[in-house]
Amino acid sequence: MDTNKKIPVILDGDPGHDDAIAWVLAKACNEFDIKAITTVAGNQTLDKVTYNARRIAALLKIDIEVARGRKVPLLSDLIIAPNFHGESGLDGPELPEPNHEESELSAVEMMAKVLKESKEKVIIVATGPLSNVAALLLSHPELKEKIEIISIMGGGLRNGNWTPAAEFNILVDPEAAYTVFHSGLPLQMSSLDVTEKALVYPEEFDIIRNLNNPVAKVVAEWFDFFFIHVKSLGHKGATLHDPCAIMSLIHPEIFTIKDYYVDVELSGNYTRGTTVADYLGRTGNKPNCKCVVGLNRDKFVQLLIDACKQYEGWKI
């Protein structure tokens, strides 16, 4: 990535602790110019995740109006994840109240506006169900050429986390995921294969806490909350799913990335919402996705700590 030029980016998510930490990374890095934050129902209801997104924007001093997106998936009923993220969708530390009104534009209108107005191609980082992104592609196919890449947290090449076969973000809106994976656009998928290895251990929460700046403190407390549930699943650290979608763009060198054809299962007694990657090369289809499947965990955590240091001296 050419680090001299800032790349316009749209952050689309359902915050959510790990979405929030992904946005902490996006704001801290020099590579991105955050043009929009858009929300989608997923971890919690649309009202709750939109309020969370506005509070995160205030915490990170991202000076834009958040645009709310789809309240429900394209075809199926909404599934939410209060067991992971709490009743608010972002339980744990206190956050500043929003300091901007919500945008009058919907998420799709906001994304379309950013794409239309941008001279350069725009990166979309999608860390929730793909409902907004699919709605954008279906309603504005003419804007596809303005998209540089869609970096997704979602799916699993060999397992799920919500059903044995399906990962949460894809399971919530499989038709949206299908639309995105069939869009022909450059895609990068940080699936459970990498994100369940992107572990941050409790002693590392404390390194972040002890950086002694207000954002790092909140990040450590998000870890504290998130880890309660993740630990009960047998993980030794907090699984940083969504931050992989940002980190794999800015530091691809610490990740293992493979080109595969990926499709989305829309039916099946047990497999709706499964991402199927043709890692054996049997379908005859050309790869449509960069699949992020592994990482150097120690470097990942160090880069996360470095990002949290960027907030030194901040006052909230």
50 binds ligand BDR (CB under 6 A): no
| Contact between 16 and ligand BDR per CB under 6 A | yes
Residues 145 and 116: their CA atoms lie apart, in Å, by: 10
Phi, psi of 200 (to 5 degrees): -115, 125
173 binds ligand BDR (CB under 6 A): no
Active-site annotation, residues:
241
Q: Which listed option, ligand BDR, Ca ion, none, makes contact with residue 205 (CB within 5 to 8 Å by class)?
A: none
Least distance (Å) from ligand BDR to the CB of residue 18?
5
What does 167 bind: ligand BDR, Ca ion, none (CB cut-off 5 to 8 Å by kind)?
ligand BDR
* Residue matched to tokens 């359902």: 14
For ligand BDR, which is the closer residue by CB, 143 or 247?
Answer: 247
Q: Using alpha carbons, select from 191, 207, 196 the residue that is nearest to residue 230.
A: 196
* Burial degree of 272 (CB within 10 A; 0-12, 13-18, 19+): middle
Among residue numbers 226 through 285, which ones bind ligand BDR (CB under 6 A)?
A: 241-242
Q: How far apart are the C-alpha atoms of 99 and 256, rounded to whole Å?
A: 39
C-alpha span between 223 and 246 (Å, rounded):
18
DSSP at 273:
T
| 89 forms part of the interface with ligand BDR (CB under 6 A) | no
Residue indicated by tokens 């954002």: 215
Contacts with ligand BDR by CB under 6 A: the residue count is 14
**Stretch of residues binding ligand BDR (CB under 6 A), selected from 16-24, 57-65, 98-106, 223-231:** 16-24
Task: Name the residues that contact ligand BDR, by CB under 6 A.
Answer: 16, 18-19, 43, 81, 84, 127, 153, 161, 167-169, 241-242
